[in-house]
C-alpha cells in the first residue's frame, strides 16, 4: 500500500495560552478529496496555513510526499498548491502576467512556463479574460485565478481555504464545478462551513471544533449522523395529544403552533406509514409531513455533546 | 530570486508612482544642475588663473550628487513603503510563502527589485554631469567615486526601508518611520560635530549616513566607509528575514 501524500501527526498550534489547533492527526491519499468542516473559529484556517507552510506548528509534524515540511520546506512546498481565504493576487497585473509570474516562482522550467500557463488558463476557464487586469475582474473570476495559481505547478495536493465564501450562488456553482475538475487530477483538502458543499465535493470529511478533530468519517457516515428521528406534521383536525402519543414507536410529542406537531420516535421504528394510514382512516386531514434532518449545527451539537458525555 | 526582483520592478513601473518619481526627481535635479553651471560660469574667469583650482567635476557634479542624496532620502521611503506592508494588506504574502522559495530569496528579491529601480534613477541623474564631457573635461574617476558612494548609500536606504516595511501593515506608517530613521541617521552627525558633546560624539558621527558619504564626494574611497554601508544593508536585510520568519513562528 502506498504511503499517504500528506500526513500530519499530533499537529498543534498555540496563540499564547489559547490552543487554536490541538493534536490533530490525519492523512490524505492520492486522488482523495478531504473536507474540513467546522464552525467559524474552529481552527480550520490555522490548520490550512500550517499545511501550506505559512504558519509554523507549535508541535507536531507535517509530511508531504515524503518530505518533512519543517526540515525540507522547499521540496515539500513544491508539492502543494495553496489558495487562502482571500486569493493572493497582484491586482495591477493582467491574468496572464500574474500566472506567468506564479509559474516562475513555483520553479517551473522556463521552457515549460508557457504551456503550463496556457493549460491552466484553459482548465480554469480564463480564456476570455487573459488580457484583463485582475483588479477589474469579478470576485468569481478572481477566485478562479487564485485556483489557477494554486494548480499551475501540478502539485500533488491542493489546499483550499473556504473557496466559495463571498460568492453569489451562480459563481459558487461554477467554482464547485471547477474544484471537482481539479479533484480529478489532484488530491484536494478543502475547508468550509457549508455542509452541502462537503456532500457535493468530498470523499471524506473531518469535523473540527475548538481545535480538536472530533469526527473523521466518509460522506455516507456523515449522512447517517444527520438522520434524525423526528417528523414534523400538520393536521387539519388534530386528534387528542395522547392519541398521537399512543402510536407505536412514538416516544414524545411536542405541540407546536397552528396544529403542528413534532413527533419523536425510536430510530428503528419509523411510524410514518402507520401515521399516514391512521390520518386517512380517522380523517385527521394531514397537510404536511416532513422527515426532519439535522442541520450541521445539530450534528455539531450532538457530536460535541457525545464528546463531553464520554 | 531574480524573478521576484523583476516582478517587483515591473509592478513598480505599472503604477504612476515610479514615473512621477523619475520625472520629478529629474526636473528638480536638472534645475539644480543648471544653477550650478550658472554659478560655475560666473566664477570661471576668476578661478581659471589659479593653478590647481577646482574644475567642472568638483564644482558641478559633486554638489549635484550631494543634492541628489538628500532628495533620494526623501524619495526612498515612498518606494520602499509598499514592499511588504502592502503585500500584507492585500493578503498576497501567502503566494510567496507557500511557493518553494526560502525567505531569503523573497527578501533579497524584493530588495533587488527596489534597488534596481533606484539604480535606474541614479543612472538618469548621473547622465547630467556626464553630458558636460561634450564641452569640457570631466574627472571621471572622481565622478565614479561619487557614483559608488551614492550606490552604497541607496543600498542602505533600501535595506532600512525594507525592514521597516516588514514591521507594519500600513504603507504610510512604513514610509513615515523609514523617513524618520533615515533623517535621524543623517543628522545624527550634527550632534557629533558640535563641541559640547564629549565622548559620545565619535560614535554619533560614525553612525551618520552622511559622514560616510562625504569622502566619496571628495574622491576618497575608504574601505571603512564601504564596509559601513555594506554592514548597514546586510544587517537590515537579515533583520527583515528574521522578522518574516518569526511571523511564521508566533
Name chain A contacts of B7, Cβ cutoff 8 Å. Answer: 90, 101, 104
Radius of gyration of chain A (CA): 24
Residue count (chain A): 310
Name chain B contacts of A55, Cβ cutoff 8 Å. Answer: 248
CB contacts < 8 Å between A and B, how many? 70
Tell me phi and psi for residue A256, to 5 degrees: -105, 180
Q: How far apart are CA A240 and CA A168, in angstroms?
A: 47
Is beta strand A157-161 parallel, antiparallel or unpaired with respect to A33-37?
unpaired
Q: Are A58 and A47 in contact (CB under 8 A)?
A: no
Burial of A52 (0-12, 13-18, 19+ CB in 10 A): buried
CB < 8 Å & 24+ apart, contacts of B54-59: B55/B137, B55/B139, B56/B132, B56/B136, B56/B137, B56/B138, B56/B139, B57/B129, B57/B138, B57/B139, B57/B142, B57/B143, B58/B139, B58/B142
Q: Percentage helix, strand, coil, to 5, in chain A?
A: 40, 30, 30
- Nearest partner of A6 among A181, A206, A175, A197, judged by Cα: A206
Q: How far apart are CA B167 and CA B152, in angstroms?
A: 23
What does pLDDT average to over chain B? 87
- Among A88, A132, A139, A149, the residue to mutate for chain B (most B Cβ within 10 A): A88
Inter-chain residue contact A84 with B90, CB threshold 8 Å: no
| CB neighbour list of residue B42: distance below 8 Å, 6 or more residues apart | none
Cα-based distances in Å from B138 to B33, B56, B61, B105, B120: 15, 7, 9, 40, 22
Q: How far apart are CA A68 and CA A87, in angstroms?
A: 26
How is residue A43 annotated by DSSP?
A: S
Nearest Cα of chain B lies from the Cα of A21 at a distance, in angstroms, of 14
Across the range B80-100, mean pLDDT stands at 89
Is beta strand A59-64 parallel, antiparallel or unpaired with respect to A6-15?
antiparallel
A62 touches chain B (CB under 8 A): no
pLDDT at residue A40 in the model: 78
pLDDT digits (tens, 9 = 90+) for B177-223: 999 999 988 888 776 565 555 555 677 777 888 888 888 888 888 89
| CB neighbour list of residue B90: distance below 8 Å, 6 or more residues apart | A88, A89, A90, A91
The pTM of the full predicted model, rounded to 2 decimals, is 0.82
pLDDT at residue A1 in the model: 43
| CB neighbour list of residue A282: distance below 8 Å, 6 or more residues apart | A239
- Nearest partner of B91 among A165, A44, A101, A88, judged by Cα: A88
Radius of gyration of chain B (CA): 20
Query: Which comes out higher in pLDDT, residue B126 or A237?
Result: B126
Residue A282, all three cell numbers? 380517522
Inter-chain residue contact A88 with B4, CB threshold 8 Å: no
Does B247 have pLDDT greater than 80? Answer: yes
Query: Which comes out higher in pLDDT, residue B73 or B198?
Result: B73
Name chain A contacts of B113, Cβ cutoff 8 Å. Answer: none
pLDDT at residue A269 in the model: 72
Is beta strand A59-64 parallel, antiparallel or unpaired with respect to A67-68?
antiparallel
Residue A227, all three cell numbers? 438522520
Q: Which of residues 208-227 of A touch B (CB under 8 A)?
A: none
How is residue A133 annotated by DSSP?
A: B
**Local mean pLDDT, 10-residue blocks, chain A (310 residues):** 77 85 87 84 86 87 87 88 90 92 90 91 89 91 91 90 86 88 88 81 85 80 69 80 76 78 76 81 83 68 65
Beta bridge partners of A290: A232
Domains, chain A, ranges and CATH? 6-210 (3.40.50.300), 227-309 (3.30.70.100)
Amino acid at each position: 500500500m502506498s504511503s499517504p501524500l500528506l500526513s500530519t501527526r499530533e499537529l498543534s498550534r498555540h496563540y499564547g495560552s489559547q490552543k487554536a489547533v490541538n493534536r490533530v492527526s490525519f492523512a490524505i491519499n492520492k486522488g482523495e478529496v478531504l473536507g474540513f468542516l467546522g464552525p467559524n473559529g474552529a481552527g480550520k484556517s490555522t490548520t490550512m496555513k500550517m499545511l501550506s507552510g505559512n504558519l509554523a506548528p507549535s508541535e507536531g509534524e507535517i509530511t508531504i510526499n515524503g518530505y518533512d515540511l519543517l526540515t525540507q520546506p522547499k521540496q515539500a512546498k513544491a508539492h502543494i498548491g495553496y489558495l487562502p481565504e482571500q486569493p493572493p493576487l497582484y491586482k495591477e497585473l493582467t491574468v496572464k502576467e500574474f500566472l506567468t509570474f506564479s509559474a516562475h516562482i513555483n520553479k517551473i522550467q522556463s521552457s515549460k512556463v508557457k504551456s503550463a500557463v496556457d493549460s491552466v488558463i484553459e482548465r480554469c476557464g480564463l480564456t476570455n479574460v487573459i488580457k484583463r487586469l485582475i483588479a477589474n475582474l469579478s470576485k468569481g473570476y478572481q477566485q478562479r485565478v487564485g485556483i489557477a495559481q494554486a494548480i499551475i505547478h501540478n502539485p500533488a495536493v491542493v489546499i483550499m481555504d473556504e473557496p466559495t465564501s463571498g460568492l453569489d450562488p451562480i459563481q459558487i456553482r461554477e467554482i464547485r464545478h471547477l474544484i471537482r475538475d481539479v479533484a480529478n487530477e489532484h488530491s484536494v483538502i478543502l475547508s468550509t462551513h457549508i455542509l452541502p458543499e462537503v456532500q457535493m465535493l468530498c470523499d471524506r470529511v473531518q469535523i473540527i471544533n475548538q481545535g480538536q478533530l472530533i469526527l473523521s468519517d466518509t460522506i455516507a457516515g456523515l449522512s447517517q449522523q444527520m438522520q434524525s428521528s423526528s417528523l414534523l406534521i400538520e393536521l387539519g383536525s388534530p386528534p387528542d395529544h395522547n392519541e398521537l402519543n399512543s402510536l407505536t414507536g412514538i416516544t414524545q410529542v411536542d405541540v407546536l403552533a397552528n396544529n403542528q406537531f413534532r413527533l419523536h420516535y425510536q430510530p428503528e421504528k419509523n411510524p410514518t406509514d402507520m401515521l399516514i394510514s391512521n390520518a386517512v382512516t380517522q380523517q385527521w386531514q394531514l397537510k404536511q409531513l416532513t422527515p426532519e434532518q439535522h442541520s450541521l449545527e445539530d450534528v455539531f451539537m450532538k457530536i460535541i455533546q457525545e464528546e463531553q458525555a464520554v | 530570486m531574480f524573478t521576484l526582483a523583476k516582478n517587483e520592478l515591473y509592478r513598480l513601473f505599472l503604477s504612476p508612482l515610479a514615473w512621477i518619481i523619475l520625472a520629478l526627481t529629474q526636473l528638480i535635479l536638472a534645475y539644480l544642475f543648471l544653477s550650478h553651471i550658472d554659478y560655475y560660469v560666473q566664477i570661471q574667469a576668476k578661478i581659471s588663473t589659479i593653478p590647481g583650482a577646482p574644475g567642472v567635476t568638483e564644482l558641478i557634479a559633486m554638489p549635484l550628487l550631494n543634492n541628489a542624496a538628500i532628495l533620494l532620502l526623501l524619495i526612498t521611503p515612498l518606494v520602499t513603503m509598499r514592499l511588504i506592508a502592502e503585500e500584507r494588506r492585500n493578503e498576497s504574502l501567502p503566494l510567496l510563502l507557500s511557493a518553494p522559495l526560502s525567505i531569503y530569496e523573497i527578501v533579497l528579491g524584493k530588495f533587488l527589485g527596489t534597488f534596481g529601480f533606484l539604480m535606474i534613477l541614479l543612472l538618469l541623474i548621473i547622465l547630467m554631469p556626464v553630458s558636460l564631457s561634450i564641452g569640457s573635461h570631466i574627472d571621471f574617476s572622481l565622478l565614479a567615486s561619487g557614483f559608488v558612494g551614492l550606490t552604497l548609500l541607496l543600498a542602505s536606504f533600501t535595506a532600512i526601508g525594507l525592514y521597516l516595511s516588514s514591521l507594519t501593515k500600513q504603507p504610510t506608517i512604513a514610509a513615515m518611520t523609514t523617513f524618520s530613521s533615515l533623517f535621524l541617521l543623517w543628522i545624527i552627525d550634527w550632534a557629533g560635530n558640535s563641541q559640547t558633546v564629549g565622548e559620545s560624539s565619535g560614535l554619533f558621527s560614525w553612525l551618520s549616513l552622511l559622514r560616510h558619504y562625504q569622502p566619496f564626494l571628495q574622491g576618497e574611497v575608504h574601505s571603512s566607509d564601504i564596509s559601513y554601508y555594506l554592514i548597514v544593508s546586510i544587517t537590515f536585510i537579515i533583520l527583515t528575514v528574521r522578522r518574516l520568519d518569526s511571523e511564521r513562528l508566533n
